[in-house]
Structure 1
Amino acid sequence: MLRFDPFGNVEAMTRSLLSDDGTRRSPRFMPMDLYKVEDHYVVDADLPGIDPGSIDISVDNGTLSISAQRTARSDEGVQWLASERFSGQFRRELTLGEGIDRDNITAVYDNGVLSVIIPLAEKAKPRRIEISHTAKTASSQAIES
């Protein structure tokens, strides 16, 4: 089971939203989708314009962390007319529940989308339980009174 705690990083998110580091182009969040397909979860995170070498994914103590860096364009000789693309450090953390195969998490970065595939552990996958039964035979002895 994968658990997402939307309030787990409220303080850090509030700090980043309210901080003023001298630029209006600092990152605010990393948009993502989280869904389950058959026997695995998928996290699709939007990271357009990110250098794939700056992406770091780690699992530590039940927390999946995704971080990435987008380098800001030099302001030298530039007169900005609009500046809506964030630059700097992006980070998301998800709490992994029990039943996740942490050793086989994989990731692919394609067309600005990072897809992290989080498989369920074998023991957590749904399985069918066979029911055995015994057939009564005609030679069963009747109890006489």
Structure 2
Amino acid sequence: MATYDPFRDLERLASSFLETGRRGPREMPMDLYRAGDHYVLSTDLPGIDPGSVDIDVDGQLLTIRAERTLTTDDSAQWITRERTGGTFLRQLSLGQGLDTERITASYNNGVLNVTIPVSEKAKPRKIEITTQDGQQQIESTTA
């Protein structure tokens, strides 16, 4: 037996009113992790045409923009409409030490994956230490 919750209906009404009136870009949920010498950004974009996804890098600013267009039937009488159309936007400020020239992206099953490699300059490397006579004495590792 379902219980009546007047606030649930009020919340749905307010939410649908506010969402349909919203004209600005919507955010998209995102995961970001480091795997070895690159970062992977995964964001959910279900129902998005991959051709509408646009990824730009301007200096250290990464912008992901996507468009979802919902089909409408003028003769339809909607019972509920929770899926939103419009522009989705996410911007990230990239830190130093990333190779913005080699960023790649793929879209599969409604998930956009952006791979951001770490630049060669930011990777750990070994520094050789030599003596005055030119022979190697010790090796040091820097991070």
**TM-score, with length taken from structure 1:** 0.71
Equivalent residue of 1:66, what SS? strand
For the aligned residue pairs, the C-alpha RMSD in angstroms reads 2.7
Between Structure 1 and Structure 2, which shows a larger proportion of helix residues? 2
Where does residue 141 of structure 1 map in the other structure? none
Q: For the residues of structure 2 that align with 1:24 and 1:80, how far apart are their CA atoms?
A: 19
Where does residue 11 of structure 1 map in the other structure? none
CA contact (8 A) 2:26 2:89 kept: no
Higher relative contact order structure (alpha carbons within 8 Å, sequence separation ≥ 6): 1
CA contact (8 A) 2:26 2:87 kept: no
| Unmatched runs of 5 consecutive residues or more in structure 2 | 1-14, 133-143
Match of 1:125 among 123, 126, 136: 123
Larger C-alpha radius of gyration, 1 or 2? 1
| Unmatched runs of 5 consecutive residues or more in structure 1 | 1-16, 135-145
- Write out per-residue CA displacement over residues 7-49 of structure 1, whole angstroms, 9 at most, x where no aligned residue: xxxxxxxxxx9x9575579863201101111000111010001
Between Structure 1 and Structure 2, which shows a larger proportion of strand residues? 2
Count of matched residue positions in the alignment of Structure 1 and Structure 2? 118
More displaced stretch, 82-91 vs 109-118: 82-91
Question: How much identity, in percent, do the aligned residues show?
Answer: 56
Name the aligned partner's letter for residue 64 of structure 2.
I
Report the alpha carbon displacement of residue 84 of structure 1 after superposing the two structures with TM: 1.5
Q: For the residues of structure 1 that align with 2:84 and 2:99, how far apart are their CA atoms?
A: 33
